[in-house]
């Protein structure tokens, strides 16, 4: 990829544009439009509308088709290995529309799984952060005048815990605790796809590792099942899926 194209791909949502092109291409093919004509018509519209990213993607496909190659070869570097395998096999069997539909289906399932992952992890973390900030406010602003009025010795139970928290705040340890908390969160999320071994087997029993385990397993099974259903042997499908998988998934599958 050229540098300009790489920047545009990241900033303008290249993945989304590519899937949209595949979807439109499948629609045109299904309605009897030859693939060269389907791609060329989209290219002309994109270029006329000033859509650099889409026109560049379509231009690559056009060049590939004009050279006697396939659509998948023109956008190989924009596809994952399993997506490329799906398209390549479909082009050989003349079932390109079905392959594109499968790619779109996998993408949809991935988005839904990611949504569940975010809700399962971000939701509880957000509640925890808000609770900590609320306790900070109570300990720093609300409790001090109350304590000075009724005396600290007369407070017990939960109120006593909040008083202790207030003391931590007055000692300026709370900001350190907040920084430490977020640092731990960053480490956890960064290691979700790469932490392996016996430690990971133990952590997989509790969130957020257990949620990530279910998410990763779901995406893997969806991709594998679609490839096998498309006529790709299981061994070949695994060879296509695993190289791009996380170290965690590769360890679990092997």
pLDDT in tens, the chain (254 residues): 556 878 888 888 888 999 999 999 999 999 999 999 999 999 999 999 988 889 999 999 999 999 999 999 999 888 887 788 888 888 877 788 888 888 898 888 878 877 777 777 777 777 777 777 776 777 667 767 776 767 666 666 766 776 676 666 556 566 776 777 788 888 888 888 888 888 888 888 888 888 888 888 888 887 788 778 777 888 887 887 777 778 888 888 77
CA separation (Å) from 19 to 32, 165, 168? 20, 52, 52
CA separation (Å) from 116 to 50, 131, 205, 208, 241? 36, 23, 18, 12, 22
* CA gap 254, 250 in Å, rounded: 6
pLDDT of residue 2: 58
* CA gap 59, 63 in Å, rounded: 6
64 in Cβ contact with 70 (< 8 Å): yes
* CA gap 43, 55 in Å, rounded: 5
* CA gap 58, 42 in Å, rounded: 7
Phi-psi sector, 196: left (phi>0), alpha (psi -120 to 50), beta:
beta
195 Cβ contact partners less than 8 Å away, ≥ 6 residues apart: 203, 248
CA-based nearest residue to 194, from 234, 248, 150: 248
């Amino acid at each position: 990829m050229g540098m300009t194209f790489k920047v545009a791909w990241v900033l303008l949502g290249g993945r989304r544009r590519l899937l949209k092109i595949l979807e439109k291409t499948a629609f045109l093919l299904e309605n009897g439009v030859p693939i060269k004509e389907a791609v060329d018509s989209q290219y002309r519209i994109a270029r006329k509308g000033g859509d650099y990213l889409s026109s560049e993607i379509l231009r690559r496909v056009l060049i590939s088709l004009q050279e006697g190659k396939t659509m998948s070869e023109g956008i190989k570097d924009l596809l994952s290995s399993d997506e490329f395998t799906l398209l390549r096999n479909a082009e050989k069997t003349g079932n390109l529309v079905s392959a594109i539909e499968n790619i779109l289906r996998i993408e949809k399932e991935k988005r839904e799984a990611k949504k569940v992952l975010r809700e399962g992890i971000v939701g509880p973390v957000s509640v925890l952060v808000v609770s900590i900030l609320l306790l900070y406010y109570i300990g720093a602003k609300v409790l001090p005048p109350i304590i000075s009025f009724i005396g600290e010795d007369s407070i017990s139970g939960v109120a006593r815990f909040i008083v202790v928290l207030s003391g931590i705040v007055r000692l300026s340890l709370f900001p350190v605790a907040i920084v430490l908390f977020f640092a731990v969160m960053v480490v956890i999320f960064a290691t979700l796809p790469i932490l392996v071994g016996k430690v990971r087997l133990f952590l997989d029993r509790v969130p957020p590792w257990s949620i990530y385990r279910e998410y990763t397993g779901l995406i893997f099974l969806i991709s594998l099942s679609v490839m096998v259903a498309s006529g790709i042997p299981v061994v070949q499908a695994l060879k296509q899926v695993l190289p791009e998988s996380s170290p965690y998934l590769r360890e679990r599958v092997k």
